[in-house]
Structure 1
Amino acid sequence: MPDMGKPHCIKRLPTKVLVKDVSEEEAIEYVRKHTREHYEIPPDYEIRNICILGKAPMLVGIKERKKKLIFTFTRPCFGTDVLEMDTTPEEIETIRSDLRKD
């Protein structure tokens, strides 16, 4: 369960909704299918200081050449969405170092 004291309002991130109100399984499959590089997000993981909500496993996918992140987010009472956001090489490296399992 994420710490409810941490900010979790997804509207604070500049995202585009790719897929709206799907099952968590469908969202995970979308990320796997549309990114070659993806990582499992622990329940309390933050992107730009926003706690990503959802039940494990959740994924974040990296589109390095396009400088995009694709990730799942569950909005209470609304369901799970797949979101896309512009990113930076530094942010990609942070995600890799945080989530890569060697």
Structure 2
Amino acid sequence: MPSRCVNNLGGRVILKDATVDEVNRYVAMNSKEQYILVPDFVFRDIRVLLKSPMLLGLKIRRQKVLLPFTKPCPGYGTVLYEINATEDDFAYLRANLARPVEGE
């Protein structure tokens, strides 16, 4: 059964207590590729908690993933993490997530 502890992924917090629009705007402006991350998607055996779909971003040259996650703890809300990634991580995300449609 997948864990729900995003802290197991490491990384650093980019945005804290952010709105969907803030996360999506940051990811769109700061990553080479974006994908639609849906609630309960499992990445590296972590079930991603979200209230609604949000953008996930791939920073290819820096080998990073911009990963939103909604922490149920008071004072956190939706957090955007930048975590280290491998080519296998990129391949898994590309194969299992949809790209956003232009103009949406």
Shorter-chain TM band: 0.7 to 0.9
Looking at structure 1, the residues matched to 85 and 40 of structure 2 have their Cα atoms a distance apart, in angstroms, of: 20
In structure 2, the residue matched to 1:81 is 79
Partner of 1:37: 33
How many angstroms apart in 1 are the aligned matches of 2:24 and 2:32? 13
Shift of residue 32, structure 1, vs aligned partner: 1.2
CA distance in 2, matches of 1:88, 1:97: 14
Taking the TM superposition and a 5 Å limit, the aligned residue runs for 1:1-102 are 6-76=2-72, 77=74, 78-100=76-98
Misfit runs of 4+, over 2 Å: none
Q: TM-score, normalising length from structure 2?
A: 0.84
Match of 2:82, as an amino acid? E
Runs of 5+ in structure 1 lacking a partner? none
Once the 2 structures are TM-superposed, how far is the Cα of residue 53 of structure 1 from its aligned partner? 0.8
Identical-pair percentage: 33
Secondary structure of 2:81 counterpart: strand
TM-score relative to the length of structure 1: 0.85
Unpaired segments ≥5 residues, structure 2: 100-104
Secondary structure, aligned partner of 2:68: strand
